Amino acid sequence: MNKVLILTASAFLATSGFAWAQDKVYVEVPQPARDYVIAHPSDPVVIDGELSQGYVVPQTVTVRPIPDSPGYGYIYVDGRPVIVSLENREVVYLSDSRDGPVPDDVITYVEQNPVDTVAIDDITTGAIVPDDVDLAPVPSQPRYAYIYVDGGPALVDKRTRRVVWVR
């Protein structure tokens, strides 16, 4: 009797663990797809609720396809690249960084083209640059502008005026 009870309990635990594992499927998004999304930011999308892996993107949101990565599309939420399965519109990848890596050519341009320093207290990533501060454009990347604070550059998302990178 004890053997039957133990076998039954073992079978129950094994099958319930398997079902739990099936609910937590993690997709490995190819690196070229992630690189493409970071290099081609799109207009931001507003999502209600907490965004996480498995979140189903509403049909009202336009998901841009990723060339050379069939089955994947992307959106940007709060400056954060989000990769979506086109099959079921589930989020399969979120960047840990709100802005993804800043392209090297942007950093090079900003560092090689300093502008007059502006006086802003406590400039950090995520800070909002006041409207009365003039931003210098980055010609190759119209999404970005920059300022110099305390002798160092700060890269700004022009749409939100939020600082995305500081040296």
For residue 139, give the amino acid letter: P
Integer Cα distance of 5 and 85 in angstroms:
43
Q: If residue 62 lies in a helix (H) or strand (E), which one and from where to where?
A: none
Q: Give domain limits for the chain.
A: 31-94, 104-166
* pTM exceeds 0.85, yes or no: no
Flag whether pLDDT at 82 surpasses 80.
Answer: yes
Q: What residues contact residue 139 under an 8 Å CB cut-off, 6+ apart?
A: 109
Instruction: Tell me the pLDDT band of 96, cut-offs 50, 70 and 90.
Output: low
How many angstroms from the chain centroid is the CA of residue 37?
A: 9
Integer Cα distance of 75 and 4 in angstroms:
53
pLDDT value at position 20? 30
Flag whether pLDDT at 12 surpasses 70.
Answer: no
User: Tell me: the pLDDT tens digits for 34-80?
Assistant: 878 877 888 888 887 788 889 999 999 999 999 989 999 999 887 78
Rounded to a whole number of angstroms, the CA Rg of the chain reads 22
